[in-house]
Structure 1
């Protein structure tokens, strides 16, 4: 993040748009300036990442780097609220770009029509202050995690399955990283899994709040803690996470 002296000033229009959220204790105009000056990378902008992107655009984050490949399919439409029926068969990233600009025309968007991989993760992470992981595949999640750890960039890790929500915030060098939490690639994980769109929306909104807290300094992030919500039973838990000293991504190097 940029030093306070380098944060861009707000326009009168922005003061009017963000007036309600600037009333939050500790946020105010200085916090809004931090949001305006920030850059956030979102890996996959579907049902989960799309909710993150939409809320961050609404909150006034100045720049979003969005990595999402492929074209819109009918099966996207139950949860991917940045996709529309008239865009079926067309580029997802173009639909994302258009919908976010309709909400916030001041937003700078860096559209990347690629999914995160070990080949591009470092390049993408280097463009952001904070990373949001909303990818469906663990290959993408591990590549993003490793790049964020190498570059000491905070990462908000969001996941959903059926009616379950999982969110944690990874602060490299201070908290467990994703490889500490999930030491090995789950062999039975599939690209398609059961999910209700509203569950993705809940996780995405929580993830967006985590990003805002990290950028502005308000509140207490889910650092070293995994928030687990079962929306079937409405049970909410916070699980303490432990770093793995032998972690291949964030563990101490052998002497």
Structure 2
């Protein structure tokens, strides 16, 4: 009888242990898929400490415009400097203890190097400020051009890419000295770094090559007369008529391709 009771107790303990392991496995599976608030806060804490070690003269906070969700025990947190608007980047924590900013998809260099040290954040921001200023000039001085609002989250009418060359595209890292962190846009910058302006212009009917030349000439004339020389233009003329199908519409869309301002 004692042996039987002992075996029964052992079986109960094993069953209890198995149930606890099953519960733990289910909790870990749920956590892997959905994350959890405690791990999120821990990842935020570690991301801020990580950023403050990289830039010890600054303090950081979690940029709450971005998520800090975790799947498969992997949390990505965007940190923002309290002193510098251009100093923000992503930091990841995996399995609660492994923290770095070598984000998948950005393997060429750590995210703080790409975004901050190599000035991609600054170039994007200054390009947006330049585009808003260019759009203001064009609205007043070229009202005959009907721009589509298709660029960026705000639906800007033009886009300006700074530090842009035909060979390499955007390369802010090559112009770090011309892109001080947090500096406001100054039109003199366009004399120092190459740039590209993109725009979509709406046209009545099918646009022609003559229409394209007129638009390119107008853009260059207005912007250069206001101290904003652009290195390259990339313009699309979009017809506004009724089309039976998409292929017919696309056949009438006219693109300039990358066009040097020197050829205008």
By the TM > 0.5 criterion, same fold?
A: no
Structure 1 length-normalised TM:
0.22
Higher helix share goes to which structure?
A: 2
User: Higher RCO, 1 or 2 (CA under 8 Å, sep at least 6)?
Assistant: 1
Structure 2 length-normalised TM:
0.22
Structure number with larger C-alpha Rg: 2
